[in-house]
Amino acid sequence: MSAHTGPMPLTKPDGTPFVTVKSDEQWKSQLTPAEYHVLREAGTERAFTGEYTDTKTRGTYSCRACGAHLFTSDTKFDSHCGWPSFYSALAGDAIIEIEDRSMGMKRVEVRCASCGSHLGHVFEGEGYGTPTDLRYCINSVSIRLDPVEQPPAGS
């Protein structure tokens, strides 16, 4: 079950249009079936199966659908929940948060502010020792890591 049914909206909750707008056919031709299911149908990948769950590589995580920068490795932490976890999104309006009452509980869905694609959910007050007490629980298939180039050893 997902937070969203039907086509993803073309506007943000405040009515302003997303920067990146494509037809379902365009999204389907650009994304793999698994990416499309999560990003455009608000699906969820299985826990502990995503490529970034345990990644320690330094860099910036961007939206796999549109390329907008969303998170940095500096805010990624080990939550042991089965999905990549971050305690903060990039400053500004990189993401939008929408109340989600599916699954019989209140959650907050996280979407890319540039294209409206589903990324995951954010949870508060779980007791992780992070500066924000937030856990952005993000599907690996929703994001792409752009690694920071490491200087050569000895330089």
Q: In angstroms, rounded to a whole number, what is the distance separating the alpha carbons of residues 84 and 122?
A: 12
Q: In angstroms, rounded to a whole number, what is the distance separating the alpha carbons of residues 61 and 148?
A: 11
Provide the pLDDT confidence category of residue 12 given band limits of 50, 70 and 90: confident
Is 1 part of a structural domain of the chain? no
Is 143 part of a structural domain of the chain? yes
Query: Which of the two residues, 152 and 43, has the higher pLDDT score?
Result: 43
pTM above 0.85, yes or no: yes
- Helix H or strand E encompassing 72: strand 69-72
Is 50 part of a structural domain of the chain? yes
Candidates 63, 66, 115, 137; catalytic one: 137
Tokens 């180039």 correspond to what residue?
149
Is 32 part of a structural domain of the chain? no
Which structural domain range is residue 78 located in? Answer: 46-147
Cα–Cα separations (whole angstroms), residue 140 to 23, 61, 85, 105: 23, 10, 10, 23
- Assigned token pair, 145: 């890591």
User: Would you call 137 a catalytic residue per the annotation?
Assistant: yes
Is 83 part of a structural domain of the chain? yes
Q: In angstroms, rounded to a whole number, what is the distance separating the alpha carbons of residues 38 and 101?
A: 18
Is 64 part of a structural domain of the chain? yes
What is the pLDDT, as a whole number, of residue 124?
92
Q: In angstroms, rounded to a whole number, what is the distance separating the alpha carbons of residues 90 and 61?
A: 10
Is 22 part of a structural domain of the chain? no
Average pLDDT over residues 48-54: 94
Quote the DSSP letter at residue 82.
S
Cα–Cα separations (whole angstroms), residue 32 to 27, 28, 38, 39, 142: 9, 7, 10, 10, 11
Residue 113, domain CATH: 2.170.150.20
Is 11 part of a structural domain of the chain? no
Q: Which of 28, 40, 13, 59 is nearest to 118 (CA)?
A: 40
> pLDDT per residue over 75-123, tens digit each?
999 999 999 999 999 977 899 999 877 767 788 999 999 999 999 999 9
Structural domains of the chain, count: 1
Average pLDDT over residues 17-39: 94
